[in-house]
Amino acid sequence: MSTRNKRWILASRPTDRVEESNFRMMELDVPPLRDGEALVKVQYLSLDPYMRGRMEEVKSYAAPQPLNAVMVGGTVGEVIESRHATYRPGDLVVGMGGWQQYHLTDGTGLRKVDARHIPASAYLGAVGMPGVTAWYGLFQIGRPRAGETVVVSAASGAVGSVVGQLAKFHGCRAVGVAGGTTKCRYVVDELGFDACIDYKANGAREAFEIATPEGVDVVFENVGGPVFDLALARMNTAGRVALCGLVAGYNGQDISLQNVRSILVNRLTLQGFIVSDHMDLWPEALADLSSRVAHGTLKYRESIAVGIESAPRAFIGLLKGENFGKQLVKVQV
Ligand SMILES: NC(=O)c1ccc[n+]([C@@H]2O[C@H](COP(=O)([O-])OP(=O)(O)OC[C@H]3O[C@@H](n4cnc5c(N)ncnc54)[C@H](OP(=O)(O)O)[C@@H]3O)[C@@H](O)[C@H]2O)c1
């Protein structure tokens, strides 16, 4: 009997907020394997803010997600059938399998991973693209020195949680910005940041001043808008800004800045980056991150939605801050 595959396709492009109706579920048979192909049964799907950008037909660093095609997405899963020279049934692989239960692959972009010391799901988070993003932006752009103050927004999330912990390992003062007391408490008590500012609370500006008594040397920006403005107002001379994301504006919200003057008077260096432009550094970053996760020194948290059916709802929640840590979908239930 053939294997049935449930998948989500992009049915329409959002005008501002993403709606569940922008996606459509399809169910079809997995076609027979051809020479050079392997079939992967997806265990976890990664949901990431970049997917919002792909849903629009605008100029960006990557081509838009085509309509009526399976939604793009990183996955980890097990090879269950193979006519590929490199992959054998039982291999655990990370790839871009998309929002579906099974994916047929010719091996392009596929990477074997080992779940003996690192859980499979972590290869989509702290030991995957978000972790490398944190590592690259902090060390290649932020270039912090021991004793400096590093601020990171979306601090409890997949990228931000790694940034602050790496900054601490490096001897810096790590200050997070996150939405709500529960996330902020986690960032300080569990992840070991020195302070965390709840940007949704009254008095966030004063709290930021108290948390950064020596000013700010490095900003790792994930959010944009008023959250970014808080940090810009505290920058020291010759500070660095690693502009990683602007999630506060992904649904079309206004993220204009008030404190642009800080870039001039403090002679800041501000650099945007896209982690996939730097594949040459991924092996070094992954070696560092995987060793820290395997030894339990680099911590992470996951929000796991259950069943492929839950992907659109979980994705919409991610864009509203409903996730707490790396947002995943457990595809096989
Ligand atoms: N440049 C690159 O190569 C690259 C690669 C990966 C990720 N990124 C970017 O890195 C950022 C973090 O990604 P992630 O995967 O780690 O996601 P994440 O932090 O795990 O989840 C997104 C978080 O963003 C915050 N957020 C969502 N909507 C917001 C809004 N309207 N205003 C303020 N905060 C909002 C929420 O945290 P709070 O509840 O704390 O507000 C939410 O939990 C994103 O901007 C993403 O696009 C960039």
pLDDT digits (tens, 9 = 90+) for 246-279: 999 999 999 999 999 999 999 999 999 999 999 9
Distance CA 169, CA 166 (A): 5
Predicted confidence (pLDDT) at residue 58 exceeds the cutoff of 70 = yes
Ligand 1: residue whose CA is nearest its atom 20? 157
Pocket of ligand 1 (CB under 6 A): 48-50, 130, 133, 154, 156-160, 178-179, 183, 222-223, 227, 244-245, 247-248, 273-275, 318-321, 323, 326-327
Atom of ligand 1 nearest to the CA of 133: 5
The DSSP call for residue 309 is: G
Q: Are 187 and 118 in contact (CB under 8 A)?
A: no
- What number is the average pLDDT over the span 212-223? 98
- Cα of 223 vs centre of ligand 1, distance in Å, is 6
- The dihedral built from the CA positions of residue 135, 140, 145 and 151, taken in this order, carries a sign that is negative
Average pLDDT over residues 90-97: 98
Pocket residue to mutate for ligand 1, from 151, 223, 243, most atoms within 8 A of Cβ:
223
Task: For 127-170, write each residue's pLDDT tens digit.
Answer: 999 999 999 999 999 999 999 999 999 999 999 999 999 999 99
- Return the pLDDT at 2: 82
Residue 190 CB partners (closer than 8 Å, separation 6+): 299, 301
Q: Which pTM was predicted?
A: 0.98
Strands 38-46 vs 102-105: parallel, antiparallel or unpaired: antiparallel
Kindly tell me if the per-residue pLDDT of 303 is higher than 70: yes
Distance 95 CA to ligand 1 centre (A): 21
Q: How far apart are the first and last CA of the chain?
A: 20
Distance CA 124, CA 30 (A): 24
- pLDDT reported for residue 332: 84
Residue 148's identity, in one-letter code, is E
Span from the CA of 199 to the centroid of ligand 1 (angstroms): 14
Q: What is the pLDDT of residue 63?
A: 92
Rounded to whole angstroms, how far apart are CA atoms 114 and 323?
A: 26
Q: What is the mean pLDDT of the chain?
A: 97
Distance 49 CA to ligand 1 centre (A): 6
d(CA 78, ligand 1 centre) in Å: 28
Torsion of CA 109, 311, 153, 168, to 10 degrees: -60
Contact 141, 167 (CB under 8 A): no
**pLDDT tens digits, 60-88:** 999 999 999 999 999 999 999 999 999 99
Sheet holding 173-178, edge to edge: 195-198, 173-178, 149-153, 216-221, 235-243, 269-272
- The pLDDT score that the predictor gives to residue 1 is 66
